[in-house]
Homo-oligomer: A and B are copies of this chain.
Amino acid sequence: MRRILLLTEYDGTRFAGLQRQREGLRTVQGELERVLPQIGALPKAVAAGRTDAGVHALAMPFHVDLEGRIPVAKVPEALNRLLPEDLKVVGAREVAQDLHARKDALWRAYRYRVLVRPYPSPLLRHRALWVRRPLDLLAIREALPLLLGRHNFLGFAKEETREGTRELLEARVEEAEGEGGLEVHFTFKGRSFLRGQVRGMVGTLLEVGLGKRPPESLKAILETGDRRLAGPTAPAHGLYFVEAAYPEEKLSP
């Protein structure tokens, strides 16, 4: 039995999120697990994280266990022949038997794409959030450092029951010239994130960028954990799971 770490790219538009759910709901995990037995793998795939319906991924890791004798180098193509066009394997490597895609991830990175222009873009309608008015990046850059480090992020998240302390390692905003015009990209790197945390932070930062709230208003959200003090949850279709990292020693068999 070999443990394989798969990297997957998916278009989240037509998925009811990543995590396997009841029959009839189309999920990333469900589609992947459905085809694994056909290449001699166990029908179980464990992801580095969860993404909601509509959220995309550039390289979401899954660990799977391979019983058959297919060479690892042939795994992506073999799976891609079986997978739907909105979910493909873009990398595979044999790793340590005990590597766990969720528990061993050192950090995870997300990006949020915003398209800033007067009119909406048909070509990017499922790929970036459209904002009509320019964003004040200086104000956003004043707010971002407040989020860095260890905080209670419950005030930005969807869940209210779990313990909310998380560590944010990186928080950036950059302009990028895309095919559809000016884009603003938010990047967040953290050990782990609460459900809805990234979209809650982006929704709040967009209010900062639109002059609807001062940068320092983020402090009270972190101090109180009160969801009502934060901005709205930004829509799913602008969010991308970008990358997860693992300890070097577990990345070889």
Contacts and interface: CB of A to CB of B under 8 A. Distances in A.
Nearest to A117: B90
B80 A9 contact: no
**Contact size range, A:** 20 to 34
How many chain copies? Answer: 2
Interface in A112-168: 118-123, 125, 127
Contact of A120 (B58, B88, B120, B122): B88
A87 B86 CA distance: 22
Given A58-B179, A179-B58, A86 B122 contact: yes
Given A58-B179, A179-B58, A11 B88 contact: no
Contacts of A90: 118-119, 121
Given A58-B179, A179-B58, A80 B119 contact: yes
A121 B90 CA distance: 8
Contact of A85 (B119, B125, B127): B125
A188 interface: no
B123 A127 contact: yes
Contacts of A86: 122, 125
A198 B88 CA distance: 29
Interface in A6-27: 9-11
Interface in A48-63: 56, 58
A76 interface: yes
A121 B88 contact: yes
A122 B179 contact: no
17 contacts: A9-B123, A9-B180, A11-B122, A56-B123, A58-B123, A58-B180, A76-B118, A77-B119, A80-B120, A85-B122, A86-B122, A87-B122, A88-B120, A88-B121, A90-B121, A91-B119, A123-B127
Q: What are the 5 tightest A-B residue pairs by CB atom distance, in nearest-first order?
A: A11-B122, A90-B119, A86-B122, A11-B123, A10-B122
Interface of A: 9-11, 56, 58, 76-77, 80, 85-91, 118-123, 125, 127, 179-180
